[in-house]
A and B are shown apart, each in its own frame.
Chain A
Amino acid sequence: MADVTNLRSPAEAGLSKLFETARRSFASDTTIAREEAFRFFEATGLPSRRVEAFKYTDLRAAITDVAPPAEAPSLDAARAAVARAVGFDGIEAARLTFVNGHLVRELSDLAAIPDGVRVTPLNEALTNGDVVLAQLAPVPQARENPVYQLNTAFLADGAVISVAAGAKPARPIHLRFVGSGDAPFSTATRVLVQLGEGAEFSLLESHEGPDQLTCQPNDALDVVVGPQAVFRHTRLNKEGDATIALSTLSLKVDTEAQVETVNLVTGAVLSRHQIYVHVAGDDTNVVVNGAAMLRNGQLADSTLLADHAAVGGVGREQFKWIIDGDATGVFQGKIIVRQVAQKTDGKMKSDCLLLTDEGQMMNKPELEIFADDVACGHGATCGAPDPDLLFYLMARGLPRAIAESLLVQAFVGEAVESVTHEGARAALIGEIEAWLRARG
């Protein structure tokens, strides 16, 4: 059989060239397996629709030009960018500010980190050979993903957050990612969070950037949740309207640990949020929720892999989609229950409200079950707002637009109700309301 060689796209060739240049600055650092990651990426290339996992989100077609890695911004530029950022504003939290993918210490609360939490800038952790770095890339399947590997290859900045065993800081840490500038750029950040036994910790994460700029952030969050620890994560994607935002959340969950992660997407022309959950210990409880509110021209992809490799894991995954104009939603959710993972209880649901005839929703739920004593289910729905409900509301005096907004808010609100942190929940609800107001 003849060998088939894929022609490299200009963007792929551009990435190779960029890596050649960038590898010189990486030379002294061996903790990050950049070479291996880039070789993996070169072998796969930017995934196209021919790759099953990217069938509905064709990155090869979407990324025609590769944006150069962002330089660290000047402090003035960073300050100006942060002044425009509103995500999770007003919530009492210790902030780690990343502007164009670079940690800006002057605009971060590194001196006011809550007791029991240690934050180390990634570059410092690499230089010092921080032992926590051994926990990087905690989910094996993520290491087979080209987006995640691209992040590894180009990793420029980030942080390591360690929460001591038993620590329960009242204040969350807020990872504030802000984009700024007038020329396209790419970023690659990695934040590693490690929770010791019995720790309880909340993390907020917001992403904002300028409109009409083809930014290409690729951010990864690796989280290792120790035994009986509780990790709560609220994420907001409010990127600029021309941004292609790629992100990966990898979660390793130990015995009797609890996880709650909720992601709201309103921004970016194209976004793909990949969630890998590795249930490594018995009797865990994991809630993964997502909501996307999309306008004309946007595509948002949530791709989830929950791998149950231990007994008695409870998983609740709920995704809500509001599709306006000709926007597209993509949900791919796979639950694997390994033979050892008896008594797993998993429920995955993706519901979509199509506000126009032009919108599209792609739902691909999968179950792969090898254990015989489990309760797993999935469901997906797609439809227009219920005309009977609309009539009921209008018959009470609500104009159509308000009635529809109320139904949309109620529909999407179900996914954010599970946010435990009151301020974060209110912030997401505020975003939902703002989106609806802007829709008119």
Chain B
Amino acid sequence: MLEIKNLVVQIEDNRILNGLNLTVNDGEVAAIMGPNGSGKSTLSYVIAGKEDYEVLDGEILLDGQNVLEMAADERAAAGIFLAFQYPLEIPGVGTMTFLKACLNAQRKARGEAELSTPDFIRAVNGAADKLEINKEMLKRALNVGFSGGEKKRMEILQMALLQPKFCVLDETDSGLDIDALRIVSEGVNALRDQGRSFLVITHYQRLLNHIVPDTVHVMSKGQIVKTGGKDLALELEASGYAEYRTGEAA
């Protein structure tokens, strides 16, 4: 379970999150929607541990443990995973080298034995097949020369391999065509289970047709301003964010 209590965050004297409260239970898929500039991506970065942000107040508790005191890698080992809106290209770092290093670093941090190479390759190949990822891509440098859709699929592949407890999907639907959206969504749905929860950040309702949420939250001016069921997304699609936008800075 992830609980965010009264989270206040700023970057360079610019207040982004203003006392945000949110609870995502085990097994729950929560969606966050909201206009541009409402602080959705900031929230995802702060959960994952990006250092540019100054947390002025509040807590983020993963199963009761305050993750704000942990570095990004410790949060990852504790089970937090952020699927990036714009996955970064890392020239020179082979995809397989990267995947193995991440997996083993997390296992080491949790006191588990490293995965043997045959087991690792089996796990990667299995996940890649489900996401229709060409094996040739795995031989290339991480995300280098990948299309937008391929990068997003690679994010889900990492998620499938690392088996996190709490997944944040930051606008995973952006830049995806219809087929890629389906493949990525199926990949996410396959990972849904009682022990894992998701925070799905999106602008559009269409992603939520594929990844059907249990709850939908509307975010504006750095706070959750409305919470509802999956139908709330449909309402927003029809009415827009106008009623939440008043006083919005950007």
Which residues of A are in contact with B by a Cβ distance under 8 Å?
387-389, 391-400, 402-403, 406-407, 409-411, 413-414
Q: State whether A397 touches B162 (Cβ < 8 A).
A: yes
- Enumerate 14 A-B pairs (CB-CB under 8 Å) in ascending A order: A387-B51, A392-B88, A393-B98, A395-B81, A396-B73, A396-B105, A397-B103, A397-B105, A398-B101, A400-B73, A403-B73, A409-B92, A409-B93, A410-B91
Q: Which residue of B lies closest to A391 (CB)?
A: B50
Given contacts A395-B76, A397-B162, A414-B91, contact A406 B105 (CB under 8 A): no
Q: Which chain A residues lie closer than 8 Å to B73 at the CB level?
A: 394-400, 403
Q: Which chain B residues lie closer than 8 Å to A391 at the CB level?
A: 48-51, 72
Docked pose: A400 CA to B51 CA in angstroms: 12
Task: Identify the interface centre among A388, A395, A403: most chain B CB within 10 Å of its CB.
Answer: A395
Docked pose: A389 CA to B143 CA in angstroms: 12
Given contacts A410-B93, A411-B92, contact A396 B50 (CB under 8 A): no
Distance between B193 CB and nearest chain A CB, rounded to angstroms: 21
Docked pose: A130 CA to B52 CA in angstroms: 67
Q: Which chain B residues lie closer than 8 Å to A397 at the CB level?
A: 73, 76-77, 102-103, 105-106, 109, 162
Identify which of A395, A406, A411 contacts B101 (C-beta below 8 A). A406
Q: Which chain B residues lie closer than 8 Å to A400 at the CB level?
A: 71, 73
Q: Which chain B residues lie closer than 8 Å to A406 at the CB level?
A: 93, 97-98, 101
Number of A-B contacts (CB under 8 A): 78
Docked pose: A397 CA to B77 CA in angstroms: 6
Docked pose: A389 CA to B98 CA in angstroms: 12
Q: Which chain A residues lie closer than 8 Å to B97 at the CB level?
A: 406
> Is B197 on the interface with A (CB-CB < 8 A)?
no
Q: Which chain B residues lie closer than 8 Å to A393 at the CB level?
A: 90, 98, 102
Identify which of A394, A407, A411 contacts B71 (C-beta below 8 A). A394
The 9 nearest A-B residue pairs measured at CB: A410-B92, A397-B76, A394-B72, A397-B106, A396-B102, A394-B73, A410-B93, A392-B88, A397-B105
> Is B18 on the interface with A (CB-CB < 8 A)?
no
Task: Identify the interface centre among A389, A394, A407, A414: most chain B CB within 10 Å of its CB.
Answer: A394
B interface residues, tally (CB under 8 Å): 31
Q: State whether A389 touches B101 (Cβ < 8 A).
A: no
> Is B82 on the interface with A (CB-CB < 8 A)?
yes
> Is B38 on the interface with A (CB-CB < 8 A)?
no
> Is B202 on the interface with A (CB-CB < 8 A)?
no
Q: Which residue of B lies closest to A398 (CB)?
A: B105
> Is B84 on the interface with A (CB-CB < 8 A)?
yes
Q: State whether A395 touches B72 (Cβ < 8 A).
A: yes
Q: State whether B92 touches A398 (Cβ < 8 A).
A: no
Q: State whether B101 touches A392 (Cβ < 8 A).
A: no
> Is B205 on the interface with A (CB-CB < 8 A)?
no
Task: Identify the interface centre among B72, B77, B97, B141: most chain A CB within 10 Å of its CB.
Answer: B72
Q: State whether B51 touches A398 (Cβ < 8 A).
A: no
> Is B185 on the interface with A (CB-CB < 8 A)?
no
Q: State whether B82 touches A402 (Cβ < 8 A).
A: no
Docked pose: A409 CA to B92 CA in angstroms: 8
Docked pose: A342 CA to B81 CA in angstroms: 55
Task: Identify the interface centre among A392, A407, A410: most chain B CB within 10 Å of its CB.
Answer: A392
Identify which of A389, A399, A407 contacts B105 (C-beta below 8 A). A399
Q: Which chain A residues lie closer than 8 Å to B51 at the CB level?
A: 387, 391
Q: Which chain B residues lie closer than 8 Å to A394 at the CB level?
A: 49, 71-73, 76
Q: Which chain B residues lie closer than 8 Å to A414 at the CB level?
A: 91-92
Q: Which chain A residues lie closer than 8 Å to B101 at the CB level?
A: 398, 402, 406
> Is B158 on the interface with A (CB-CB < 8 A)?
yes
Q: State whether B84 touches A392 (Cβ < 8 A).
A: yes
Docked pose: A414 CA to B84 CA in angstroms: 26
Docked pose: A391 CA to B98 CA in angstroms: 14
Q: Which residue of A lies closest to B87 (CB)?
A: A392
Docked pose: A392 CA to B103 CA in angstroms: 14
Docked pose: A394 CA to B101 CA in angstroms: 11
Distance between A419 CB and nearest chain B CB, rounded to angstroms: 15
Identify which of B52, B82, B90 contacts A395 (C-beta below 8 A). B82
Identify which of B49, B76, B84, B92 contacts A413 (C-beta below 8 A). B92
Docked pose: A224 CA to B193 CA in angstroms: 68
Distance between B163 CB and nearest chain A CB, rounded to angstroms: 12
Distance between A283 CB and nearest chain B CB, rounded to angstroms: 30
Q: Which residue of B lies closest to A399 (CB)?
A: B73
Q: Which chain A residues lie closer than 8 Å to B81 at the CB level?
A: 395
Q: State whether A396 touches B93 (Cβ < 8 A).
A: no
Task: Identify the interface centre among B51, B101, B158: most chain A CB within 10 Å of its CB.
Answer: B101
Identify which of B82, B87, B90, B109 contacts A407 (C-beta below 8 A). B90
